[in-house]
Amino acid sequence: MTQRQNVYERPVEILQRLIQFNTTNPPGNEAACIEYIRGMLSEAGIQSALLAKDPNRPNLIARLQGEGKAPPLLLYGHVDVVTTENQSWQNPPFEGRLVDGYVWGRGALDMKSGVAMMIAAFLRANAEGLRPPGDVVLAIVSDEEAGGEFGAKFLVEEHPNLFKGIKYALGEFGGFTLQIGRKRFYPIMISEKQICWMKATVRGAGGHGSMPVKGGAMARLSQLLKALDENDLPVHITPPARRMVEAIAPRLGGVQGFILGQLTNASLNGAIIKTLGERGRVFYPLFIIRSARPCCRAAQRSM
């Protein structure tokens, strides 16, 4: 057995190697990283398929056969990362250094660590001859950070048969530890916010450096962006957010539990979040529709 064939026993090594591939998106260039993963699977005798809209941005699919008594389980992760441009790093972002018991680098959290764990588990299950009730499908994709056009979107639109019968999936940050007061909770993600793109056109007089114009299109655009930054849109109590609050509040009990429970009251939500202080930052995104990335166009009238 070669050293790489039992690499599932060393997930830290897998993570370090994944980080060493610069998969900054854009442009992504995830091919080398995906090929590394495919190589590990191949050495373990596991067949995999590469599916790509762009050869430089492939997606890997592998399947561990189960007993057919339960729906397949999907393990899903992405290998692209966001930029490091104009950022100061204590350790180089693409070396995967192990310092003081931690692996440092771009993607160490989002989400090459998750991918390393999935690969290690998948390889171990295969090495130990595990026959789960249902198949285990491993999907390692490109282009998560910029919309999924070459990754998840491409797969579900062009190859939906690969995910037939799947009811459950493990992906990025499906749960985390939450400390409230003296009690510890383990929230499990059951849904996710979706994107709703809107375009605003601001009309007004144009100008030039030699002939400044006050109150023109750019001034109105700045006012719009300022208003979006300083104000929230209406509170929305979605069913998953309500379920979370209604599960946590009774277990806190007392005054804390009562106050937290009022988060499901739209008229009190804002005041309660302020009352919660720093802890309120965890709950704020669950209820507020926020314009995180205003994208507006200023139309100037010709002078």
Digit-coded pLDDT (tens) for 134-148: 999 999 999 999 989
Q: Which candidate, 46, 115, 59, 112, places its Cα nearest to that of 81?
A: 112
- Residue 294 pLDDT grade (very low, low, confident, very high; cuts 50, 70, 90): very low
- CATH fold, domain 3-170, is Aminopeptidase (3.40.630)
- Give catalytic status of residue 80 as yes or no: yes
Q: Which candidate, 77, 62, 38, 48, places its Cα nearest to that of 169?
A: 77
pLDDT of residue 292: 45
Inform me whether the pLDDT recorded for 303 exceeds 80. Answer: no
Active-site annotation holder among 13, 30, 80, 143: 80
Per-chain mean pLDDT for the chain: 90
- Give catalytic status of residue 13 as yes or no: no
Which pTM value belongs to this model? 0.76
Active-site annotation holder among 30, 135, 143, 144: 144
- Outline which parts of the chain fall under CATH 3.40.630.10: 3-170
**Which residues contact residue 292 at a Cβ distance below 8 angstroms, ignoring those fewer than 6 apart?**
none
Q: Which residue has the tokens 């370090």?
A: 16
Q: Which candidate, 124, 98, 86, places its Cα nearest to that of 17?
A: 98
Residue 123 identity? L
Inform me whether the pLDDT recorded for 244 exceeds 80. Answer: yes
